[in-house]
Amino acid sequence: MGMKPKIFIDGEHGTTGLQIRQRLAARQDLDVLSIPEAERRNRAAREDFLKSADIAILCLPDDAAKESVAILDGQNSTRIIDTSTAHRVHPDWAYGFAELDAAQAQRIASARLVANPGCYPTGAIGLIRPLIAVGILPPDYPVTVNAVSGYTGGGKQMIAQMEDPSNADHIDAPHFLYGLTLQHKHVAEMQLHGLLDRRPIFSPSVGRFAQGMLVQVPLHLDDLNGLASMESIHEALADHYAGQSIVEVISLEDAASLARLDPTELAGTDRMKLFVFGTEGKGQVNLVASLDNLGKGASGAAVQNMDLMLGL
């Protein structure tokens, strides 16, 4: 056994970084480098940590992530997982959704640059792409994506707004809709990696719960290709995710037995469940992804990608 791989979390004090740190704390097979909190804004110190890592996991706002990438530019030994939105539609970066298609896990494993997906797009693309790949969903279908996330998706600032009544920007609402101009920064990756020709309408919301997420994609069967049915849609999803453990497609029988779906069901896990809801013969389905916005939606995916890159 040679040297342990060195992992540096650039931004380990943020919400995603802390979660990754917790996931790696018990790992004996890694050497996790940690910058003292007082030094985290010291560019020279960060530069040393970035350059000495085998993999740097960037848990930073977009501009700071681009700065870290620039520090490592032309210096090919450090591999990067960027959890920001900065590089998710960049052609030089592997998109870090391992279940995207049959080849994606290998693409991530061999990449130097990996863009970790957004939480909402993980659910949306997870539902949409397999249906486009087999020709059920036309790429020009007018897709709408409606979603609710736990408030930790907004990072430290939103956590404080939701949890602290004395906060100047306290949010009192039990649930709120945002992204009202339909310009949310996740739309680009949903369209590109979802293989959609038309820009999807994406309406995100936040509920008064910390972790969890439901992403809904409703479809009219008459507007799909061929004789699309609940059965054929379910089969396409089940086939796409067969043989891997992280994304689970729930049986039509089990989905039909549910009276309600709890967005916090998978909180604390790194898995995702996909459901096909509707009534056979009624011409409509609602596809739903359930995941933890910080699990498969962020930190869990980053650790999954790190393990792929390290061949673990």
Catalytic machinery residues: 119
Query: Rounded to whole angstroms, how far apart are CA atoms 232 and 226?
Result: 10
Chain centroid to CA 44: 31
Distance CA 57, CA 293 (A): 18
* Total residue length of the chain: 312
Reduced to 3 states (helix: H, G, I; strand: E, B; else coil), residue 201 is strand
Give, as one character, the DSSP assignment of residue 137: S
Structure tokens at 32: 């996790």
SS3 218: strand
User: Which pair of structure tokens corresponds to residue 227?
Assistant: 């004789």
Whole-angstrom distance, CA of residue 49 vs CA of residue 27: 20
Tokens read off for 66: 């681009």
